[in-house]
Structure 1
Amino acid sequence: MRPPRRSTLLAALSALALALPLVAEAQAWPAKPVKIIVPLAAGSAVDNAARIVAEKLSQDLGQSFVIENQAGAAGLIGAGNVAKAAPDGYTFGGFNDSIMTMVPHLQARMPWDILKDFEPVSLVATVEWGLVVNAEAPQRTAADLIATAKQAPGKVNYGSGGNGSPQHIAMALFASQSGVQMTHVPYKGATQAAMGVAGNEVQAAFQGIATVNSLVKAGKLRLVGVTTARRMPQFPEVPTVSESGLAGFEFNSWFTLMAPAGTPRPIVQALAAAVQKALADPGVKEKLYAQGLTPRGSSPEELAAATRAQLARYGALIKQNGITAE
Structure 2
Amino acid sequence: MKSIIASVGMALLACAGSVPAQAADTYPAKPVRMVIPLAAGSAVDKAVRIVVQKMSEDLGQPFVVENIPGSSGLIGADKVAKAAPDGYTLGGFNDSILTMIPHIYPNMPWHPLKDFDPVSLVATVEWGLVAPADSPYKTAADFIADARANPGRINYSSGGNGSPQHIAMALFAKKAGLDIVHVPYKGATPGAVAVAGKEVQAGFQGLGTVAGLIQGGKVKLLAVSTKEPLAQFPGVPTVDTSGLPGFFFDSWATIVAPHGTPRPIVDRLHQSVVKALAAADVKAQLAPLGMTLRGIGPDEFGAATRGNFDLYRQLIHDGNIQSN
1:49 equivalenced with 2:47 (yes/no): yes
Q: How does 1:1-326 map to 2 (within 5 A)?
A: 16-326=14-324
TM-score (norm: length of structure 2): 0.90
- Find the aligned partners of 2:65 and 2:53 in 1 and give their Cα distance: 10
Is there any run of 5+ residues in structure 1 with no aligned partner, and where?
none
Measured after TM superposition, the shift of residue 183 of structure 1 is 2.8
- Find the aligned partners of 1:191 and 1:34 in 2 and give their Cα distance: 25
Deviation string for 1:165-189 (max 9, x for gaps)?
2211111111222233323333344
Q: Tell me, yes or no, if the aligned pair for 1:50 and 1:67 is still in contact at 8 Å.
A: no
Write the letter of the residue equivalent to 1:181.
D
The DSSP-based 3-state class of the residue aligned with 2:296 is coil
- Find the aligned partners of 1:96 and 1:119 in 2 and give their Cα distance: 14
Is there any run of 5+ residues in structure 2 with no aligned partner, and where?
none
Measured after TM superposition, the shift of residue 14 of structure 1 is 6.1
- Judging changes above 3 Å, is the alpha-carbon distance between structure 1 residues 99 and 13 closer, same or farther for their aligned structure 2 residues? same
Measured after TM superposition, the shift of residue 115 of structure 1 is 0.9
Measured after TM superposition, the shift of residue 10 of structure 1 is 8.7
Q: Tell me, yes or no, if the aligned pair for 1:54 and 1:66 is still in contact at 8 Å.
A: no
- Judging changes above 3 Å, is the alpha-carbon distance between structure 1 residues 67 and 305 closer, same or farther for their aligned structure 2 residues? same
The DSSP-based 3-state class of the residue aligned with 1:297 is strand
Deviation string for 1:121-173 (max 9, x for gaps)?
11011222110122233322222322333344334332223332221111111
The DSSP-based 3-state class of the residue aligned with 1:87 is coil
- Find the aligned partners of 1:75 and 1:185 in 2 and give their Cα distance: 17
- Find the aligned partners of 2:131 and 2:40 in 1 and give their Cα distance: 25
Measured after TM superposition, the shift of residue 8 of structure 1 is 10
TM-score (norm: length of structure 1): 0.90
Q: CA RMSD in A?
A: 2.4
Deviation string for 1:107-129 (max 9, x for gaps)?
22111111111111110112221
The DSSP-based 3-state class of the residue aligned with 1:245 is coil
- Judging changes above 3 Å, is the alpha-carbon distance between structure 1 residues 260 and 193 closer, same or farther for their aligned structure 2 residues? closer
- Judging changes above 3 Å, is the alpha-carbon distance between structure 1 residues 203 and 190 closer, same or farther for their aligned structure 2 residues? same
Q: Tell me, yes or no, if the aligned pair for 1:163 and 1:323 is still in contact at 8 Å.
A: no
Write the letter of the residue equivalent to 2:100.
M
Q: Tell me, yes or no, if the aligned pair for 2:130 and 2:204 is still in contact at 8 Å.
A: yes
Q: Tell me, yes or no, if the aligned pair for 2:123 and 2:292 is still in contact at 8 Å.
A: yes
Moved more, 200-209 or 296-305: 200-209
Measured after TM superposition, the shift of residue 48 of structure 1 is 1.6
Write the letter of the residue equivalent to 2:21.
V
Measured after TM superposition, the shift of residue 6 of structure 1 is 11
- Find the aligned partners of 2:159 and 2:15 in 1 and give their Cα distance: 51
Q: Tell me, yes or no, if the aligned pair for 1:126 and 1:295 is still in contact at 8 Å.
A: yes
Measured after TM superposition, the shift of residue 60 of structure 1 is 0.9
